[in-house]
Structure formats: structure tokens, C-alpha cells
Amino acid sequence: MPSSIVTIQKKDDHTQKLVIVPPSNGLTLTGNVSIPGDKSISHRSLMFGAIAEGETVIEGLLVGEDPQSTAKCFRQMGATISPLNPEKVIVQGIGLGNLQEPTNILDVGNSGTTIRLMLGLLASISDRFFTVTGDDSLRSRPMSRVVEPLQQMGATIWGRNNDSLAPLAIKGQKLQAIHYMSPVASAQVKSCILLAGLMVDGKTTVTEPALSRDHSERMLKAFGAELEIDSQTHSVTLTGQPTLRGQNVIVPGDISSAAFWLVAAAIVPDSELLITNVGVNPTRTGILEALEMMSADITKENERIVAGEPVADLRVKHGKLTACTIEGSIIPRLIDEIPILAVAATFAEGTTVIKDAAELRVKESDRLKVMATELGKMGAKITELPDGLEITGGTTLNGAEVDTYTDHRIAMSLAIASLMAQGETTIHRAEAASISYPMFFETLQQVISS
């Protein structure tokens, strides 16, 4: 494998640029890929471990920048968390309601999941004061979606722009139970309210317009909370004041990280990859259904349940892709995979339409705009819609200078697109990938054979 296909260069401003030069006779991707732990489950295992009684042992944790931010914040509030590594992390919980007032600002970095879930916990701890901030991207993301329901529960939260942007200041206090009808299908919103509901007397209910990922519900139950799920109405009800006890958590591989390899092998001729130990929780498998609609050749092998979460190995082979329409209730189940699906659509026959995905505008970047401009620079026929994208496949991509806008999923999506481009692609601010997948580019080198 010629090492010159993928190179990472450090720039003077401490960012990194990734240069990809596929050989003129093409390349293929083969082998086994073991993906890092699920980001959503990793955050929750650290947080729930910190507020439980006793010890939580986590195997398979994602050692990426986002979980590092969560661990740092909870250490500042008194939890003992061993150094993060994928083999074993030990969290000594301090018990529900016992998070200490930190003596400094809590910095969540780039992590929306950390700030939104943590706000529910902080707002409900009486008489303690917290300030929370994050990086440039985080400070531009809407917090009103969690601040407003918390205020309905009685929370006191201040922030920029009418309490809607971080930095936020929180004066914890006793909250009241509510039934919250969430206008968005968001696991971050749902989880924030449920976590606030832990400290409340009585039952807190969240109803969503469509089902979002249910990792909080599964893990809170495993830690001892009482939850009722109404799958007809997408509602979950939590009974306040449970005793949470530390658990052994095994984090499966992240299907959102697997998605890059699924699309890569599907679009690069003669490729075949086996992606092992992938979490296939039905609230996350929209990507498999979308790729199936696009006629991708993907098979599930070795399906099993690991610590309450469904897991499988995924085998993907190159094949002809066809366009499809992705809309409605599948969107929350593939919300983080839309950038890489846009890459798949670029190589599919026909016009793929993605709708009902306006949420992408408030992720780590405006992912609709960024994918349209950056893939467009490479020659893709891609149009930004108010709530989605329209992509006509079959164009030849050319190498270009593109930017990640510091968004990890954009970095990896553009890297996969560049494997099929003619000539050299330079991806600026490629270091963003380490938010959720620190070894992504090294693994890419390893699976390339030409």
C-alpha cells in the first residue's frame, strides 16, 4: 500500500490538513475494521456512573475528545473517573444529587450531548451554582430547546441571547415534574428532561414527534430507574428519586462511525470490508435501511445482544447504488449519517432527495450548507434545500481544496468522497475527526490496497 495516498500534515496554526491522492488506476478497500465505541453510549456511561452509587466499570468506551470533555466536567464535580481507555474505565459514583459545585467553569468543548444532558442534572441540584461553556461551534448551537423545558420545571438558567446560547449559568434548585411535548425528535432534549426528572418527586414524561435514540432509557433502567415506554405515542415516563447503582457497561462500536466504511466500500469498486462489533439498536439503524433502499450490498452477521444493546458484524461489498428519497420518521434514526449518505448519493444512479432534516443546520456545523458547498467544490451535483439536500449521482468528482468547518462528520465524509475523486484533495482542519474517531485516517490507510 503506497503511503502517499493519505498524508496528514500539521499546519502553522496547529490545525491539520489531510491530503488524499488516489492512484490514477484506482484503489480498493479490503479487510476488517474494528470501530471505536459508541459516542452516545460512552457519554451516558460516564454520566450515569458518576451519579450512581458504587462503582461502574466501562468496557469499550470511545476515547475521543467528546467523552474526554464529559469525564473532565464530572471529575470537576467530584466523581472519580480513571484515565479513559477502551479496555476499562472505572467510575466511582457519588450518588444522585451529590454532584459538587465546581470551583471553575465547566468546559464541554465541542460536545452538544455533554452540555444538554448535563444541564438537566445541574438544574436539579439545590443551592449549587454552575457555569458551562464550550468551543466556538458549541457556543453557536441552540440551548433553548433544553433551557425552556427546564424553566417549565422551575429551573433558573441564564445565558446569552435570551438564555439560549452558552456560556450558561445555572442555579440549581428543586424542580417539578412535567409532561413535555417536545417539538423536535431529539435524544439530547429527551435525555436532559429525564435526567432532571431523576431528582423530582413524581413522574416526568417526554413525548417526541418521532422516536429518537433510546440509549438513555435502556441504560437508566439498567442502573435501577423506573421507566415506562409508550411506543405508540413516542413517550417515556420516569419515576423520580430512584436509587441508581453502578453497573458494568459494555459499549458497542458506533454505527455512526461504521457508516463511513459502509459507504466507502459500497462506492469504491472491488471493495469488501467486514466491520465488527457494531451497535445495531433499532433507533440507530436508519443508515442500514437507507443504504438498503439504495441497493447497497450489506449483510448482518453474528447478531447478538451485549449488555442490553443489539450488536452485529456488518459485511459490505461494492455494488451499483440507486437513488432514493429519505424523509419522515427515519430521519432521527440516521441524523448523524446524512453527510456520508450525501456522498453515497453522489455515486448512485438518479436523484436522491433528503427532506425533513433541518436539524442538520444546528449540528457541529450547518451540515446541509457545508456538504452542499464542499462536495459541490469537488464537482458533485448537490443542491441545498431548506430542510435537506438533492443530489444527482453519476458525476465525476475532481480533487479540490475543501474544509471541514471543524465538524468531525464532515471531515470523514469528505475523506471518503476524495477516494473516488480524480487528482488530489486537500481537507483543511481534518483534525476534527478525533472528536468521535481519533484513528480514522490511520484505519483508512490500513484498508486501502491498490
Alpha-carbon dihedral angle through residues 328, 333, 336, 339, given to the nearest 10 degrees: -50
Among 65, 313, 336, 431, binds ligand S3P (CB under 6 A): 336
Of 208 and 313, CB closest to ligand S3P: 208
List, by residue number, the catalytic residues: 336
Among 114, 182, 212, 346, binds ligand S3P (CB under 6 A): 212
> Taking the complex as a whole, how short is the minimal distance between the CB of residue 425 and ligand S3P, in angstroms?
25
State the Cα–Cα distance between residues 210 and 353, nearest whole angstrom. Answer: 20
Residues in contact with 117: Cβ distance below 8 Å, sequence separation at least 6, in sequence order: 43, 44, 47, 188, 191, 192, 195, 216
State the Cα–Cα distance between residues 284 and 264, nearest whole angstrom. Answer: 19
State the Cα–Cα distance between residues 344 and 265, nearest whole angstrom. Answer: 10
Among 188, 205, 277, 426, binds ligand S3P (CB under 6 A): 188
Task: Flag whether 44 is marked binding.
Answer: yes
- The torsion angles phi and psi of 441, rounded to 5 degrees, stand at -70, -35
> Taking the complex as a whole, how short is the minimal distance between the CB of residue 213 and ligand S3P, in angstroms?
6
Of 336 and 407, CB closest to ligand S3P: 336
**Residues contacting ligand S3P: total by CB under 6 A:** 11
Of 359 and 366, CB closest to ligand S3P: 359
Instruction: Considering only the stretches 25-33, 182-190, 337-345, 372-380, report the one whose residues sit in contact with ligand S3P under the rule CB under 6 A.
Output: 182-190
Q: What is the per-residue binding string for ligand S3P in 382-411, x denoting contact by CB under 6 A?
A: ------------------------------
Rule CB under 6 A: say whether 337 interacts with ligand S3P.
Answer: no
Q: Which residues pair with 427 in a beta bridge?
A: 18, 402
> Taking the complex as a whole, how short is the minimal distance between the CB of residue 104 and ligand S3P, in angstroms?
25
| CA distances from residue 401 to 215, 376, 382, 397, 404 in whole angstroms, order as listed | 38, 11, 17, 12, 10
> Taking the complex as a whole, how short is the minimal distance between the CB of residue 246 and ligand S3P, in angstroms?
21
Task: Flag whether 336 is marked binding.
Answer: yes
- The torsion angles phi and psi of 440, rounded to 5 degrees, stand at -60, -50
> Taking the complex as a whole, how short is the minimal distance between the CB of residue 410 and ligand S3P, in angstroms?
13
Can you count the helices (H) and strands (E) in the chain?
A: 13, 27
Q: Are 32 and 273 in contact (CB under 8 A)?
A: yes
> Taking the complex as a whole, how short is the minimal distance between the CB of residue 186 and ligand S3P, in angstroms?
3
Rule CB under 6 A: say whether 418 interacts with ligand S3P.
Answer: no
List the grid coordinates of 253. 462500536
Task: Flag whether 11 is marked binding.
Answer: no
Pick out residues in 243-302 that bind ligand S3P (CB under 6 A).
Answer: none
Residues in contact with 272: Cβ distance below 8 Å, sequence separation at least 6, in sequence order: 29, 30, 265, 315, 316, 317, 318
> Taking the complex as a whole, how short is the minimal distance between the CB of residue 185 and ligand S3P, in angstroms?
7
CA 137 centroid distance within chain: 15
Rule CB under 6 A: say whether 335 interacts with ligand S3P.
Answer: yes
Task: Flag whether 40 is marked binding.
Answer: yes
Instruction: Considering only the stretches 3-11, 21-29, 186-194, 243-251, report the one whose residues sit in contact with ligand S3P under the rule CB under 6 A.
Output: 186-194
Q: How many CB atoms lie within 10 A of CB 248?
A: 12
Of 332 and 393, CB closest to ligand S3P: 332
Of 42 and 418, CB closest to ligand S3P: 42
Rule CB under 6 A: say whether 113 interacts with ligand S3P.
Answer: yes
Q: 335-361 burial, b if ≥16 CB within 10 A, otherwise e?
A: bbbbbbbbbbbbbbeebbbbbbbebbb
State the Cα–Cα distance between residues 47 and 43, nearest whole angstrom. Answer: 6
Q: What is the per-residue binding string for ligand S3P in 343-362, x denoting contact by CB under 6 A?
A: ----------------x---
Q: Which residues pair with 425 in a beta bridge?
A: 20
Rule CB under 6 A: say whether 217 interacts with ligand S3P.
Answer: no
Is 299 buried (19+), middle (13-18) or exposed (0-12) by CB count in 10 A?
Answer: exposed
Rule CB under 6 A: say whether 195 interacts with ligand S3P.
Answer: no
Of 255 and 447, CB closest to ligand S3P: 255
Rule CB under 6 A: say whether 187 interacts with ligand S3P.
Answer: yes
- Closest residue by Cα to residue 325 from 345, 298, 343: 345
List the grid coordinates of 345. 448519493
Residue ranges for the known binding site are: 39-40, 44, 112, 141, 186, 188, 336, 363, 367, 409
Binding-site positions for 3-phosphoshikimate:
39-40, 44, 186, 188, 336, 363
**By the criterion CB under 6 A, which residues form the site for ligand S3P?**
40, 113, 186-188, 191, 212-213, 335-336, 359
